[in-house]
Amino acid sequence: MRTHILYILILACLFSCRKDQTTSIFGETPDQRLAKALADYKSRLTGAEYGWKTAVFPPAGGGYSFFFTFDTADRVTMYGDVTEDAAGTPENSTYRLKAMQRPSLLFDTYSYLHLLADPNPNVYGGVTGQGYSVDFEYAIDSVSDDTIKLTGITYSTKMILVKATKAEHDAYTSGAFGEQLVDIENNIAEFPWQYLQFADGKKLQVSINTVTKNFTLIYLDDAGKVQLITTAYYYTTEGLYLQTPITYGSYTFNEVFWDADNQVFYVKINGNRVDVQVADHSIIPMHQLIGVSFSSIVVPPQAIPGWSDEFTNMWKSIATSLKSGVYGLTLYYTYFTFDPAAEVLYLDVYVIQNNRLYLAEYPYTYTKTTAGVFDFTGQTYTGNAALIDTDMAPLLDHLENDHFTMDFYQGTLGQLKSVEDTGFYFTGYLE
């Protein structure tokens, strides 16, 4: 009898324990807790009265800002500084909050953000197959009243959503942000030589590269050596925000403000405004920027501004000679590529035959005076270069026998001038 009673008690205990295992100690199942968390995240996203601002920094460099407003129907309205159109024209796409390994925010239809991840480099550049390695699916790391921190699932892109102010919301939705971006980039194009000058009197050249999205200060130190301080930037409703602060001596700033009324940049140092000033020419001589701001002067097959008549006629005669020669070649782009460490110039002449591109390379060593006067000495060449050296002789003779200076032309071009033959000069694109 006692045995039966003990058996019944054991069974009752087992059933009781099994029943307890189906009840969460938190009072909710994991699925219920997850659904509640996702609902809370959505409420936060859609509840931001003036939307959210954010920025991403691709591993390849540069910074890109975005402005989002999320609605309860899983639609997101987006602006961004990736293009002028994106800055001024809203794009509407979809988003999802989904339980993956962690609760995640997915931008699941093509948007301005996807431009940075587009696998086709013809769309926005970047690397084939991955673009700029920027995510469009993000795990949610943490949430506070006005900030949501996210990490990209594929490339670990960091994104921090911050609640926008009414002024920021209005700047995007009214088109003012887009207009400001156009104003800024027009100013940079019109006035390529700008500089900052602090109390020490030294002029620091300001370079704002709107393609790579990098802000750089360039100056000569006390030894006359070029120094650079550079960081990525993105556009804000007030100007440029720098990924890392710029520090020169005791001066530090991490924003470059835009004064739309006066069409001028300025920074704030200890609360005091310091304007960026415009110069008529580069503060740093061009020859000191070889290997710093550029390495090549690229001469196209057709004339561009800054060519002398003598050079233009010579270039046409070279093209005619190549075309009428035994190989029937078409003159294409010619690169004057400098290696300042080795003091070598590679004159790379590209020609086309039957829709195929060929290279003829003429190497030169060079010396350079402190004033920037170059003396080139031709070295041995073979292959394609030897096959067309008679056609190229007018240019080769100038490089071998003349001295040359270089300077910027119209801001974006580089110009080489013969010292001995003042009527011989030409320009090219800087790379």
pLDDT digits (tens, 9 = 90+) for 309-329: 999 999 999 999 999 999 999
- pLDDT > 70: what percent of the chain? 93
Question: Which residue stretches of 156-204 are H helix?
Answer: 166-173, 176-190
Q: pLDDT tens across 95-110, in order?
A: 999 988 889 999 999 9
Q: pLDDT tens across 121-157, in order?
A: 989 988 998 899 999 999 999 999 899 999 999 999 9
CB of 348 closer than 8 Å to CB of 361: yes
**The predicted structure's pLDDT at residue 26:** 52
* Residue type (1 letter), 167: A
Q: What's the chain's average pLDDT? A: 92
Among 399, 390, 396, smallest CA distance to 327 is for 390
Neighbour-count burial of 344, counting CB atoms closer than 10 A to its CB (0-12 exposed, 13-18 middle, 19+ buried): middle
Looking at residues 210-236, what average pLDDT do you find?
94
Please indicate, yes or no, whether the overall pTM of this predicted structure exceeds 0.85.
no
Rg of the chain over all Cα atoms, to the nearest angstrom: 31
Give the tokens for residue 202: 């030294």
**The predicted structure's pLDDT at residue 411:** 82
CB of 390 closer than 8 Å to CB of 360: no
- pLDDT > 90: what percent of the chain? 84
- Give the torsion through C-alpha atoms of 108, 110, 112, 114, to 10 deg: 70
- The C-alpha atoms of residue 4 and residue 77 are separated, in whole angstroms, by 71
**The predicted structure's pLDDT at residue 8:** 46
- The C-alpha atoms of residue 389 and residue 166 are separated, in whole angstroms, by 67
**The predicted structure's pLDDT at residue 340:** 95
Q: Does the pLDDT at position 94 exceed 50?
A: yes
Looking at residues 393-412, what average pLDDT do you find?
95
**The predicted structure's pLDDT at residue 31:** 66
> What are the beta bridge partners of residue 91?
78
Q: Classify the phi-psi angles of 249: left when phi > 0, otherwise alpha if psi is within -120 to 50, otherwise beta.
A: left
Query: Domains (ranges, CATH) in the chain?
Result: 30-174 (2.40.128), 179-284 (2.40.128), 289-430 (2.40.128)
